[in-house]
Amino acid sequence: MVSILIFNVGSSSIKYSFFSNNKVIEKNKVEKIYTKEARRDVVQPLLKELRDKKISIVMHRVVHGADITEPKIINKSLIQKLKKISKLAPLHNIPEIEVIEICQQLTKVKQIAVFDTSFYSTIPIKARVYGLPYQFYKLGIKKYGFHGMSHKYVTKNLKGKIISCHLGNGCSITAIKNGKAIDTSMGFTPLDGLIMGTRSGSLDPAIIPFLITKGYSISKINDLLNHKSGLLGISGISNDIRDLMKSKNSRAKLALDIFVYTTTKYIGSYVAALNGVDTIVFTAGIGENSPYIREKILENFFYLRLKIDKNKNSKNERIISTKDSKIKVLVIKTNEELQMIEDAKKLINN
């Protein structure tokens, strides 16, 4: 296996990892990165290390790949395609493309893009099509799904009917049957679905034209829904669940209650879509580290003979359900970077 530098670029952060023989030799996260110049300042010194670390491939996680279903070698035509669809996930795709272009300018090392949306190519059409005239589906307005690398990684060794809960600042839930995604909470963009740290999640679509009549521009609405809503907007305090749990403010408690309630509703709907569930998985920052949130969600499924081992849950152990629980509940640390390498092995080996 060759050595690889992986970039996982967010709207205001850059996570990077150096891998050799499938093992991390260095990783870090740089936050509060808002401009292309700031991204260049982070990326440039890393690329200077490529020769010393014998890196022969630079890999990028791309959130929205539209209909691209497998990893791709990055070239001009792929970048042009990504730019065309960047409006579908502007918080992520735009900074990701900027880092790709910076790498192209500064190194001749081959680059590979791996797409979060590719995991959802198995979702049936009945779960993809929105209630719009069918012509809009043909234009690409449909459910794509996100956090694919994370959901795939934490469920890849599991069988049967699985509900995977990626709960962090961004949140999504995916229903998986025999290794294939059949539905997911995020849709046309990563804004859909659960209430998140600063994102609104699903809304009555009539809210948007109503806001326009109140003088809100499209850009202001985008900013409102992506950066000022969710846990932050409801609580008025923070988008960090740890801050909300420490607070005695009633709105902080309300934000937590709504978060638990909406998550519970999605899990319940996927129990129905799967016609039962064998395993529920929690991952990402909240999913891996918040016993309170997990317990509050899971207690709504005791009627399905799900039982929690409170001691194991409090310690964030891998299996937090009891031995006689009808449904197994797992807490698994996600590793999107390793999954990216796994998905791109054919390209890497070639």
Nearest to 232 by CA among 212, 193, 258: 258
Question: Is 186 within 8 Å of 147 (Cβ atoms)?
Answer: yes
In this structure, the strands spanning 279-283 and 161-167 are parallel
In this structure, the strands spanning 171-177 and 161-167 are antiparallel
* Cα–Cα distance measured from residue 100 to residue 85, given in angstroms and rounded to the nearest whole number: 15
- The catalytically annotated residue of 41, 52, 67, 116 is 116
**Residue 183 a catalytic site member:** no
In this structure, the strands spanning 110-115 and 55-62 are parallel
Q: Tell me the sheet residues that pair with 59.
A: 6, 112
* Cα–Cα distance measured from residue 93 to residue 86, given in angstroms and rounded to the nearest whole number: 5
The SS3 assignment for 249 reads: coil
Burial (CB < 10 A; 0-12, 13-18, 19+), residue 343, is buried
* Cα–Cα distance measured from residue 146 to residue 92, given in angstroms and rounded to the nearest whole number: 11
Question: Is 43 within 8 Å of 104 (Cβ atoms)?
Answer: no
Question: What DSSP character marks residue 270?
Answer: H
Helix H or strand E encompassing 274: helix 250-274
Question: Is 142 within 8 Å of 129 (Cβ atoms)?
Answer: yes
Question: What DSSP character marks residue 144?
Answer: -
Quote the radius of gyration of the chain (alpha carbons, Å). Answer: 20
Residues 6+ apart with CB under 8 A from 129: 137, 142, 143
Question: Which residue numbers are catalytic?
Answer: 116
